[in-house]
Structure 1
Amino acid sequence: MAADFSTRLDELDATLRSIEAVLKLDDMRAEVADLELQAAAPDLWNDVEAAQSITSKLSYLQGDLRRVEEFRSRLDDVGLLHEMGAEEHDEATMAEAERELESLQKGIEELEVRTLLSGEYDQREALVTIRSEAGGVDAADFAEMLMRMYLRWAERHKYPTEVYDVSYAEEAGIKSATFAVKQPYAYGTLSVEQGTHRLVRISPFDNQGRRQTSFAGVEVLPVVEQTDHVDIPENEIRVDVFRSSGPGGQSVNTTDSAVRMTHIPTGIVVSCQNEKSQIQNRAAALRVLQARLLVVRQREQKAEMDALKGDGSSWGNQMRSYVLHPYQMVKDLRTELESGNPSSVLDGDIDGFIEAGIRWRRESENADSDA
């Protein structure tokens, strides 16, 4: 038993050392010090958006640093605690050390997932768009369920969100919605959620109570930053204004403040109706359009690289099934991870699926690079 504890302790120590090396703690401390100076500037809040970005990044880095340092301290302490219990043949102390080691293992494994987010845009905030697909009113209802799932997930983690646009369906649910998760690494974390989600249930909209399969699509984009240089000439954009609408199509304000923006060369259309003024909605719509165009550019570059490698494949589009009838199960089709509690998953308990997805993506990337 003591040997087993010692082996697991050594393995956790090695994992934590690897995490410390990847996170570059000295660089992280220097960045925290620099951000603290910026956050202390008297004119910080003259630019609200920049101020929120600085304080959000500072809070995230401080949290990461604190977690690593706390894990290191607890790992040192648990070894001493177990050693002391073994010397004194104190079963209670050894049991306490065992519980602490299990808690540390879970926490360090979660932190290890964070170190796998090393893509070009992984540390960005995220723009999430959900669209109803095949399945009629059930698909629109499912799209709204998914939107709630992600907003609840963000709420559980205390991540700020902002809904930019919701297009309500006629009978129930939504045609589409776009919202931002304003947290560093939100893009890298949520990007594994991209794809088609499938719901199987007895339709609440079917008078005969038949089983219905419906689909909704999730798109995740990195928020564009000033360094991205996504310049859009004004003559390539058409802007239409309209009144914001709520469920059932009723008007929710009396002015044409909502904005629909069309990028003429690509045909990409985005809209924003959440803000109070047309100017604010126009700025938010432009941010979403820039994010879409950034991804178009990424895909074009990836297609060129795939063509050079002679490999045009990408990972599958349908990624998760939510079955509510005839049995209860949520299953990820890539990682094979399952949950028998769909209500909990749809209430935002998706960390296990996200972590498994991030590990699966890294393994897939490593396999592709070895091929």
Structure 2
Amino acid sequence: MATVDFSEEIPHLRSTLESIAKVTDLDALNAKIADLEEQAAAPDLWDDVDNAQKVSSALSHAQAERRRIDELTSRIDDLEIMVQLAAEESDEDTLHEAETEYASIRKALDELEVRTLLSGEYDERNAVITIRAGAGGVDAADFAEMLLRMYLRWAERKGYPTKVMDTSYAEEAGLKSVTFEVSAPYAYGTLSVEGGTHRLVRISPFDNQGRRQTSFAAVEVIPLIESTDTVEIDENDLKIDVFRSSGPGGQSVNTTDSAVRMTHLPTGIVVSMQDEKSQIQNRAAALRVMQSRLLLLKKAEEAAERKELAGDVKASWGDQMRSYVLNPYQMVKDLRTEHTEGNPQAVFDGDIDALLEAGIRWRVGQQRENAS
């Protein structure tokens, strides 16, 4: 006997998909695809490699977004037919198959629905994430590396390209800090809810007495700057140092002064870049990240000023936003949303979609509450 009331759930699936399609604005999406296809067909497209890659990537992502909606429409139609056949033939196996497909469609719709909540000015951008080890010594450095692996595994599951831009290794184990980029539609909007202080509680593998250790790591998420953004930086405000890259590297990486450390003197913001082979490439990459951080700082200052004028002194993010507990029990808990996961290893393996979804829904709720 079916555990899902398909007579109610299938219309609900259709209604949810229609709402998503309305928010997505399929007419605008189709117009965007047509424009990008025209640009991609230009014979001189690859004369500008950077622009060509940008156009190709944007076209691929836009087509994928439309394809997801088209495929879900077909899957709901097929599900309805499957349920009808199962009922006519009293076929329990087909009915169980329909229930499995229903659950899969429901999950895909939930993911698309969350995407419609990402309407911030920079939510569509690629994300630049920096993880820094905090209090906790070598355990904190190891925790920073665990978080890096978690995010890279999440991106790998999604098929999103990533690029580690700068790494500072700790002396004994783990990382002092690391900066990497995630290239995907809405990468910033999705991952921005990860910004804050993360806390790990476990039996330390570095303590020969087997004591429990609490360690911390800070995660910063910023949108990647684009050429159309206007962030003016006076060259006199920049201090640029060059040095030899550290850690494992390929040919020429550790043999020349190609790494760049860029300091914005008025704010004290520091960006290091050592992924590229040449100093010129690293300098250009560092400047983009610096512009991104200054742009986000400017927006934060404007938002803080608006809050002050409105008399709102309530902080929207606490210093500690998530705890990963491996001992004496196993749990990951987001302290803002109260969402919990009982399998920390799965989370560290990149299964963080539920945490991200809860964070996005929580943030939208906070924005609506503040607006009212």
Corresponding residue SS for 1:226: coil
Corresponding position of 2:212? 211
| Contact 2:253–2:277, Cα closer than 8 Å, also in 1 | no
Q: Output one character per residue of 1:270-310: Cα deviation in whole Å (capped at 9) or x when no partner.
A: 11011100000000100110011001101111012112221
Distance 1:73 1:182 in 2: 29
**Structure 2 counterparts to residues 168-207 of structure 1, below 5 A:** 168-207=169-208
Relative to structure 1, is the Cα distance of residues 137 and 20 closer, same or farther in structure 2, using a 3 angstrom cutoff?
same
- Deviation at 1:92? 3.9
Relative to structure 1, is the Cα distance of residues 3 and 293 closer, same or farther in structure 2, using a 3 angstrom cutoff?
closer
| Contact 2:4–2:99, Cα closer than 8 Å, also in 1 | no
- Deviation at 1:83? 3.1
- Deviation at 1:206? 1.4
Q: Output one character per residue of 1:40-95: Cα deviation in whole Å (capped at 9) or x when no partner.
A: 22332333332222222211111111110111122123223323433444444433
Q: Output one character per residue of 1:209-256: Cα deviation in whole Å (capped at 9) or x when no partner.
A: 111100000000000112220111111111111111117xxx951211
Is 1:354 matched with 2:369? no
**Structure 2 counterparts to residues 285-324 of structure 1, below 5 A:** 285-313=286-314, 314-324=316-326
Q: Output one character per residue of 1:130-161: Cα deviation in whole Å (capped at 9) or x when no partner.
A: 00111111111111111111111111111111
**Structure 2 counterparts to residues 325-336 of structure 1, below 5 A:** 325-336=327-338
Corresponding residue SS for 2:228: helix
Corresponding position of 2:168? 167
Corresponding residue SS for 1:262: strand
Distance 2:4 2:173 in 1: 59
Which runs of 5 or more residues in structure 1 are unaligned? none
**Structure 2 counterparts to residues 1-371 of structure 1, below 5 A:** 4-246=5-247, 253-313=254-314, 314-370=316-372
Corresponding residue SS for 1:335: coil
Distance 1:115 1:340 in 2: 28
- Deviation at 1:164? 1.1
Equivalent residue letter for 2:75: R
| Contact 1:45–1:51, Cα closer than 8 Å, also in 2 | yes
Distance 1:229 1:237 in 2: 17
Of all paired residues, the percent bearing the same amino acid is: 66
Relative to structure 1, is the Cα distance of residues 328 and 95 closer, same or farther in structure 2, using a 3 angstrom cutoff?
closer
Distance 2:256 2:161 in 1: 28
Distance 1:93 1:169 in 2: 55
Relative to structure 1, is the Cα distance of residues 78 and 264 closer, same or farther in structure 2, using a 3 angstrom cutoff?
same
Distance 2:345 2:98 in 1: 34
Distance 2:106 2:298 in 1: 40
Corresponding residue SS for 1:239: strand
Q: Output one character per residue of 1:321-355: Cα deviation in whole Å (capped at 9) or x when no partner.
A: 11111222111112222222212211211111111
Distance 1:324 1:124 in 2: 34
Distance 2:85 2:309 in 1: 60
| Contact 1:246–1:252, Cα closer than 8 Å, also in 2 | no
The size of the alignment, in residue pairs, is 367
RMSD: 1.8
TM-score under structure 1 length normalisation: 0.94
Q: Output one character per residue of 1:151-196: Cα deviation in whole Å (capped at 9) or x when no partner.
A: 1111111111111111111111111111111112100010011111
Corresponding residue SS for 1:349: coil
- Deviation at 1:204? 1.4
Equivalent residue letter for 1:331: K
Corresponding residue SS for 1:254: coil
Which runs of 5 or more residues in structure 2 are unaligned? none
Segment of structure 1 superposing worse, 101-110 or 118-127 = 101-110
- Deviation at 1:100? 2.3
Equivalent residue letter for 1:35: L
Relative to structure 1, is the Cα distance of residues 3 and 333 closer, same or farther in structure 2, using a 3 angstrom cutoff?
closer
Distance 2:218 2:49 in 1: 33
Equivalent residue letter for 1:342: P
Distance 1:225 1:61 in 2: 18
| Contact 1:262–1:268, Cα closer than 8 Å, also in 2 | yes
TM-score under structure 2 length normalisation: 0.94
| Contact 1:244–1:256, Cα closer than 8 Å, also in 2 | yes
